[in-house]
Structure 1
Amino acid sequence: CLVGSYMFIRDWAQPAPAAQAPAAPAPAPENDGAYVTPLVRKLANEQGVDLSSVRGTGVGGRIRKQDVLEAAEAKKAQAPAAPAAAPSAAPKSPKLEPSPLRGQTVKMPRVRKLIADNMMKALHSQAQLSTVVEVDVTRIMKLRARAKDAFQAREGVKLSPMPFFVQAAAEALKAHPAVNARLNDDGTITYHDVENIGIAVDSEKGLMVPVIKEAGNLNLAGIARKTAELAKKVREGGLAPDDMSGGTFTISNTGSRGALFDTIIVNYPQVAELGIGATVRRPMVINHPELGETIAIRDMVYLTLSYDHQLVDGADAARYLNDVKARLEAGEFEGELGL
């Protein structure tokens, strides 16, 4: 009896276990069976939205256009952010190898000796001065980009910027005879009636100056072919004495190695030499026909004229350079390029 009473009291004192609620069925999509207009369905396809996951807020749970747009925005917000673009690697310093000439005493090569003697003779015999102008060659660069493929196919040589400078320089020499002249030992001046333009070329043997004969009578294609022919001879060692004689004026492309400009020593016994600096793209103030003065990215280059002040005055040098500048900036070479 006591045991029975104890069991009754114990069972009575403990709370009865709660009845387990039946599992709720998975909610059906709220838009299940709801009518979706063709416009809303098309919008959902365009936005990549699954209509079964959209809760319609229209009458009777109908999915509206705004519901699709909000779902699309929510989807974008949940998308993982695109990884930030990796910063471009900083340029590496070139690895410079020590020259085997370090610590050596060697005999000056014959070519180097001839160059040295001519440079010293030029400095000791002339009153040399340099004048520099800045030239906008944007039109030249654009013309070259348009014409280079067809030019190479037609002429068999690449179209570098050099022929444009040579032609402009040669044309200006015809109008400025003092720049295309020489001082003779007897005190007379010879004004040349031909424009034989030397092209200073860096080579393993030293500075070579092959000459484009009668450059003033050649078109761009002729200048390009002759330049390529002489450059090949320099590389392969096939220059003949005639290739380097008879020059009346010289052009040195100091920009080919990245120099902005150089104070050139005139190639004696000539009285002037033109230096072409590196072409650099930079912002410049230009006068636009509609916008007036504005800033634009342009291809710019420095031209340096070194000259013998005994014959060529600074005003002569400036006039010559400005004529070369005007020819290049006008960029009227379409006819020769077949454009």
Structure 2
Amino acid sequence: MGYIDIFVPAEQEGTKAIVRSWLRNVGDRVEENDPLVELETDKVTQEVPAPAAGVIAEILLASDAEAEPGALLGRLKVGDEAAAGATPPAASGDAGAEPGEAGFAPAPASSPAPAAPGDKSMALALSPAVRRAVRTHDIDPATITGTGKAGRITRADVDKAVAERAAAPAPRPAPAPVAAREEAPASAGGVRSIPHDRMRLAIAQNMLNSVTVAPHVTAMFECDFTAIMAHRRKHKAAFAAEGANLTFTAYFIAACVAAMKAAPAINSRWHDDRLDIFDDVNIGIGTALGDKGLVVPVVSKCQELSLLGIAKRLTEMVERARANKLTPADMRGGTFTISNHGVSGSLFATPIIISQPQSAILGIGKTEKRVVVREVDGVDTIQIRSLAYVSLTIDHRVVDGHQTNGWLSAFVETLENWPS
């Protein structure tokens, strides 16, 4: 008989992790790779699996505790004695208790409290923290789609359901008498107070840190997308047959790789004592998750990928992001970021905040047909072209206007001269 430590994963890519909830209690028997703990960062919710089969002996970091990379979460008792002393799930205290309430030693076995009449939360296999959450918010777990392992409902799923319910239109009240409306105070208008979730707070902290430490400067170019639009129309079906959705983002990534050759320092990270310029071009793609914010999955080693390879990797990453199945490894190691803000209608946005400690971020605005003057064989002609504003926001500690404009010139030239 012995003990095995349960650690926070070492790779967190500079993000803070918080213990969202324990999925098992002290005294519970678990098998190797069973999910034990939910950790939440500003980018993703991650499950920590059991490193071996055994019994949970101690919980050292309870719910809401900060979990630094490599920190000790708890201990697992393994061996013959652990197998003999295992208690059935839900026989010990609430593993999702608030800090100070979680058991730090094996709790005595006891029978679980009977479900209250009509308590639907007990009809599903829920962790203690999820059971408490659905009771607190009076929400039926049968109406929640689980995104955890094997469709298990997580605390993040409960929070999403609560937020969606709060955002739904409230029933319209019957009109009040005129006198009552006139006498009502000005503050009586409809107001909904929604507490910030951890992801939104972490994003806010990171954004504030970026604009505080780095002087942001933005350069804006206009780019003609006519060539890549023609190429996409011609090849989209062939790419789909290969399992790849040929989006404009694939072209943007390929053009970024070409532009890095004109200004390598854009593909870098700033540190107080040095600048690290990378050979690998690892590009993060901002992917919106509605009101929950956004995540930034990374397409690694783009310089080694063809357009088809980029499109395949993008298709996989975006699908996993929208299904809430990204892991920290999917968002680690980025050296540059693209924000395609035009998909939601904006022509340009400035500054787009840099993902520290990267040195720059590309913004792509909405594509529009515009009337322009183009010279053909020495004669000015009026043409209709598909144009968009593209911007590069840089950390002015790293590069100056010359490198910034050189990078954008190469990016635009690559897209505008894309072969058919």
For 2:238 and 2:278, how far apart are their aligned partners in 1?
36
SS at match of 1:293: strand
Shift of 1:100: 4.9
Match of 1:203 among 289, 293, 297: 289
Shift of 1:174: 3.2
1:248-263 maps to which residues of 2 (within 5 A)? 248-263=335-350
For 1:267 and 1:175, how far apart are their aligned partners in 2?
22
SS at match of 2:286: strand
Deviations 1:27-73 (A, max 9, x none): xxxxxxxxxxxxxxxxxxxxxxxxxxxxxxxxxxxxxxxxxxxxxxx
Which residue type is aligned with residue 209 of structure 1? V
Give the strand-richer structure, 1 or 2: 2
Match of 1:176 among 263, 269, 294: 263
1:12-31 maps to which residues of 2 (within 5 A)? none
* Residue of structure 1 equivalent to 2:47: none
SS at match of 2:403: helix
Which residue type is aligned with residue 116 of structure 1? A
Structure of higher RCO (CA pairs closer than 8 Å, 6+ residues apart): 1
Shift of 1:113: 1.5
Give the helix-richer structure, 1 or 2: 1
- The alignment's TM-score, normalised by the length of structure 2, stands at 0.54
* Residue of structure 1 equivalent to 2:214: 126
* Residue of structure 1 equivalent to 2:276: 190
Which residue type is aligned with residue 349 of structure 2? D
For 2:335 and 2:413, how far apart are their aligned partners in 1?
22
Aligned residues of 2:374 and 2:383 also touching (Cα < 8 A): yes
1:270 and 2:365 are equivalent in the alignment: no
Deviations 1:82-123 (A, max 9, x none): xxxxxxxxxxxxxxxx94596233331111122111101100
SS at match of 1:134: strand
Match of 1:286 among 374, 378, 390: 374
* Residue of structure 2 equivalent to 1:331: 418
Which residue type is aligned with residue 234 of structure 2? R
For 2:201 and 2:329, how far apart are their aligned partners in 1?
20
1:232 and 2:313 are equivalent in the alignment: no
Aligned residues of 2:336 and 2:361 also touching (Cα < 8 A): yes
SS at match of 1:198: strand
* Residue of structure 2 equivalent to 1:103: 191
Shift of 1:236: 0.5
Which residue type is aligned with residue 298 of structure 1? R
Give the paired residue count: 233
For 2:372 and 2:234, how far apart are their aligned partners in 1?
23
- The alignment's TM-score, normalised by the length of structure 1, stands at 0.66
Aligned residues of 2:262 and 2:410 also touching (Cα < 8 A): no
* Residue of structure 1 equivalent to 2:129: none
1:16-55 maps to which residues of 2 (within 5 A)? none
Match of 2:385 among 280, 286, 298: 298
For 1:174 and 1:217, how far apart are their aligned partners in 2?
14
For 2:390 and 2:366, how far apart are their aligned partners in 1?
9
Shift of 1:175: 3.2
Shift of 1:234: 1.1
Shift of 1:258: 1.0
Which residue type is aligned with residue 266 of structure 2? V
For 1:105 and 1:258, how far apart are their aligned partners in 2?
28
For 2:330 and 2:251, how far apart are their aligned partners in 1?
21
Match of 1:113 among 187, 198, 201: 201
1:141 and 2:229 are equivalent in the alignment: yes
Structure 1, gaps ≥5 residues long: 1-97, 335-339
Deviations 1:161-205 (A, max 9, x none): 1111110012211331211111113x2111111100000011132
Which residue type is aligned with residue 310 of structure 1? R
For 1:274 and 1:127, how far apart are their aligned partners in 2?
16
Shift of 1:137: 1.3
Shift of 1:302: 0.7
Shift of 1:267: 1.1
SS at match of 1:270: coil
Structure with the greater alpha carbon radius of gyration: 1
For 1:258 and 1:125, how far apart are their aligned partners in 2?
30
> Would you identify which runs of 4 or more consecutive aligned residues in structure 1 move more than 3 Å?
98-102
Deviations 1:121-170 (A, max 9, x none): 100110001000001111111111111122212x1122111111110012
* Residue of structure 1 equivalent to 2:239: 151
1:167 and 2:254 are equivalent in the alignment: yes
* Residue of structure 1 equivalent to 2:397: 310
Which residue type is aligned with residue 107 of structure 1? P
For 2:222 and 2:262, how far apart are their aligned partners in 1?
21
Q: Percent identity?
A: 39
Structure 2, gaps ≥5 residues long: 1-165, 170-189
1:242 and 2:329 are equivalent in the alignment: yes
For 1:266 and 1:104, how far apart are their aligned partners in 2?
31
